[in-house]
């Protein structure tokens, strides 16, 4: 297997879902190349970047030399600040030209994840094409690459001004951006650079886990569709049991082997690198330098069982609390791959086994409910359904295009069609079905497995927009707002909605869950509890690597318990998938 750092291209982009080791691998690669005597620039575009912590240096938005690693410099692009500036560049030219209500609608549209994505792309495009800066470095390494949707959009002909002035819907998820329009040529040059196999390699980072590998396969396909075919698969956290009598370790090893054996077909042809699971956190220059030399623990000393912090509850305790509060909506949220579907299915089946009517549904495009429930005895009080994002999106897209076609020229229509391919469209499209299911919780328990965090927040944005629109209409003379209950009201009502945040006992997933909680609280939605899933802590593993990982998990469990959540549920790592 050829590794991506043996003969690296000038630009290396590391992409993958949270918690797979993307930042660790990007940092370790940067240090390895710098130690060869090459001048390296490491750039993070992650909103929850922990590059400062990993490298042990306070970074900013300009290149900072890493004193412990001669030849290495690093910087952080803050996508949130970039998005704020981007929004103002987009909206500013129209202040005073459009009604205040239209400006407000545009600003709301530009609050989505796609805007943050494009704003970050805008920033690293400046780096990519900044010859004065890049000429100082042999290689530039980016931690987190843009999605295929963003790159497709930026490759289209510019038509934002026409779209703004003719669209009856006010704006798209990325906005009627004069800023984007004015820099179209620069964006096209950046995309051209990304497609150049002699200059750019995209490293798809994953773990040997079915869901993570499926996500990598989707990313690979999406990028290949737009011509970014120079890809390399990096699978992190490969595990081989050292203690051959440890049942947990052997089960862990079996799961890894199964995932690798059943690699998605689209990933099989890619050049691949594999890296072992480390018994320590990837923080500090020494740990990062050791990443590739891989000094794996082989000591035979026994380990005392890890004590899970006191005060944590189980799923069974949680279900009893939910029942005590009577029928309600249980929403399960979190990043992809943390086990939301498993948790949702567990809660629903426990409620049904206790004799309650339950509707279990999902808004997740991946829809793993059927596979998760396979083998479960049929329960007469449990109804299972799925909001099909594809069907809902197709119907919604047809409606939008039909209502806008007469007002747009060919170029503007092409832009609208592309914009409607974004994740934002999908979330808005499923909103109506989502609302129908939410309403059922007045009569029985509803357990809703939601899409990955970024998509879900857009769904809640749509819910909030609907709430504001209803309340605005009901404020007219003769209306009775006191008799109106909107979806957002139901989500804010702690008696009606129990919102659970699911995470893993690792640094990045916990940080991402913390960011989700902050977003929910800004929307005045208070999480009911946190569920920390797949905890090795408490399994009594004696394997040296897994036992050390379990010790590290306790730090994250205490972080959640002491600083982030009032109620914490611990779900141990299961030997069966």
Is 320 marked active-site?
A: no
Are 296 and 545 within 8 A, CB to CB? yes
C-alpha to C-alpha distance for 527 and 519, rounded to whole angstroms: 11
Residue from 15, 18, 29, 46 carrying the catalytic annotation: 46
Residue with the two structure tokens 């704020």: 84
| Active-site residue flag, 227 | no
The catalytically annotated residue of 22, 335, 340, 498 is: 22
Cβ contact 238:274 at 8 Å: yes
Q: For residue 204, what are the β-bridge partners?
A: 15, 233
The two tokens of residue 474 are 């009901």
Helices (H) and strands (E) in the chain, counts: 23, 15
Question: Cβ(534)–Cβ(334) under 8 Å?
Answer: no
User: What's the rounded Cα separation, in Å, for the pair 300 and 78?
Assistant: 45
Count of residues in the chain: 577
Report the alpha-carbon distance of residue 472 to residue 230 in Å, rounded. 51
Instruction: Please confirm, yes or no, whether 398 is among the known catalytic residues.
Output: no
β-bridge pairing 382-384 and 139-143 = unpaired
Catalytic residue among 21, 112, 336, 464: 21
CA angle 462, 468, 473 (to 5 degrees): 125
CB 51 within 8 A of CB 149: no
**Exactly one of 23, 219, 404, 422 is catalytic; which is it?**
23
The pairing of strands 497-503 and 11-15 is: unpaired
Question: Residue 364 catalytic?
Answer: no
Q: How many CB atoms lie within 10 A of CB 170?
A: 18
Q: Could you tell me the two tokens for 262?
A: 């059943």
Q: DSSP letter for 407, please.
A: G
541 is catalytic: no
Let me know if 46 is a catalytic residue. Answer: yes
Question: Using only C-alpha atoms, what is the Rg of the chain?
Answer: 24
The CA-based diameter of the chain, rounded to the nearest angstrom, is: 78
Phi, psi for residue 22 in degrees, rounded to 5:
-60, -50
Q: How many CA atoms lie less than 13 Å away from 553 in the CB half-sphere? A: 26
Name every residue whose Cβ is closer than 8 Å to that of residue 543 and which is 6 or more positions away in sequence: 241, 242, 243, 246, 248, 249, 252
- Rounded Cα distance, 22 and 28, in Å: 10
The per-residue DSSP string of 309-343 comes to PTT-B-HHHHHHHHHHT-S-EEEEE--TTS-HHHH
Of these residues, 15, 17, 18, 24, which one is catalytic? 24
Torsions phi, psi for 541 (to 5 deg)? -65, 140
Is 24 an active-site residue?
Answer: yes
Question: One of 508, 511, 539, 541 is an active-site residue; which one?
Answer: 508
Q: How far apart, in whole angstroms, are the C-alpha atoms of residue 531 and residue 541?
A: 21
Q: Which of 18, 19, 175, 454 is catalytic?
A: 19
**Sheet holding 445-449: strands in order across?**
382-384, 358-362, 445-449, 329-333, 497-503, 529-535, 568-572
Is the Cα dihedral 144, 530, 53, 296 positive or negative?
negative
The dihedral built from the CA positions of residue 353, 359, 364 and 367, taken in this order, carries a sign that is positive
Which amino acids are annotated catalytic? Answer: 19, 21-24, 46, 508
């Amino acid at each position: 297997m050829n590794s991506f750092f043996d003969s690296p291209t000038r630009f290396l982009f590391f992409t993958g879902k949270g918690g797979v080791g993307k930042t660790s691998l990007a940092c370790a690669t940067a240090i390895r190349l710098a130690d060869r005597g090459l001048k390296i620039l490491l750039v993070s575009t992650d909103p929850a970047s922990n590059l400062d912590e990993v490298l042990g240096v306070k970074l900013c938005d300009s290149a900072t030399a890493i004193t412990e690693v001669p030849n290495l410099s690093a910087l952080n692009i803050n996508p949130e600040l970039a998005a704020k500036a981007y929004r103002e560049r987009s909206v500013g030219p129209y202040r005073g030209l459009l009604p205040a209500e239209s400006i407000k609608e545009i600003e709301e549209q530009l609050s989505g994840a796609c805007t943050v994505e494009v704003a970050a792309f805008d920033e690293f495009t400046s780096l990519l094409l900044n010859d004065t800066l890049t000429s100082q470095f042999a290689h530039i390494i980016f931690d987190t690459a843009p999605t295929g949707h963003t790159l497709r959009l930026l490759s289209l002909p510019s038509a934002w001004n026409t779209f703004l002035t003719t669209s009856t819907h006010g704006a798209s998820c990325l906005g009627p951006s004069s800023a984007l329009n004015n820099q179209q040529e620069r964006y096209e040059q950046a995309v051209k650079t990304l497609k150049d196999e002699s200059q750019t390699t995209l490293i798809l980072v994953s773990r040997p886990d079915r869901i993570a590998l499926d996500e990598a396969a989707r990313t690979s396909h999406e990028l290949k569709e737009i011509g970014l075919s120079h890809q390399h698969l990096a699978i992190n956290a490969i595990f081989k049991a050292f203690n051959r009598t440890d049942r947990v370790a052997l089960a862990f090893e079996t799961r890894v082997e199964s995932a690798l054996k059943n690699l998605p077909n689209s990933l099989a042809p890619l050049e691949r690198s594999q890296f072992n699971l480390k018994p320590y956190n990837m923080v500090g220059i020494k740990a990062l330098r050791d990443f590739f030399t891989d000094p794996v623990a082989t000591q035979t000393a026994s380990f005392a069982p890890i004590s899970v912090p006191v005060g944590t509850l189980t799923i069974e305790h949680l279900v009893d609390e939910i029942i005590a509060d009577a029928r309600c909506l249980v929403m399960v949220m979190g990043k992809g791959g943390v086990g939301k579907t498993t948790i949702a299915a567990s809660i629903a089946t426990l409620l049904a086994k206790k004799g309650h009517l339950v509707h279990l549904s999902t808004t997740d495009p991946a829809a793993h409910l059927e596979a998760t429930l396979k083998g479960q005895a049929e329960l007469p009080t449990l109804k299972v359904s799925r909001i099909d994002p594809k069907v809902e999106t197709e119907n919604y897209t047809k409606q939008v295009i039909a209502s806008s076609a007469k007002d747009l020229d060919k170029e503007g229509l092409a832009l609208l069609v592309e914009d409607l391919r974004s994740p934002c469209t999908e979330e808005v499209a499923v909103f109506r079905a989502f609302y129908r299911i939410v309403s059922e919780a007045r009569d029985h328990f509803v357990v809703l497995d939601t899409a990955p965090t970024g998509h879900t927040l857009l769904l809640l944005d749509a819910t909030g927009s609907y709430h504001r629109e209803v309340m605005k209409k009901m404020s007219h003379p003769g209306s009775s707002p006191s008799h109106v209950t909107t979806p957002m009201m139901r989500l804010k009502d702690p008696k009606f909605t129990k919102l659970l945040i699911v995470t893993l006992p690792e640094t990045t997933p916990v940080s991402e869950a913390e960011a989700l909680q902050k977003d929910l609280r800004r929307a005045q939605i208070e999480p009911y509890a946190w569920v920390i899933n797949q905890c090795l802590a408490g399994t009594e593993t004696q394997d040296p690597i897994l036992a050390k990982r379990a010790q590290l998990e306790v730090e994250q469990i205490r972080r959640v318990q002491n600083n982030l959540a009032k109620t914490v549920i611990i779900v141990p790592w299961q030997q069966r998938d």
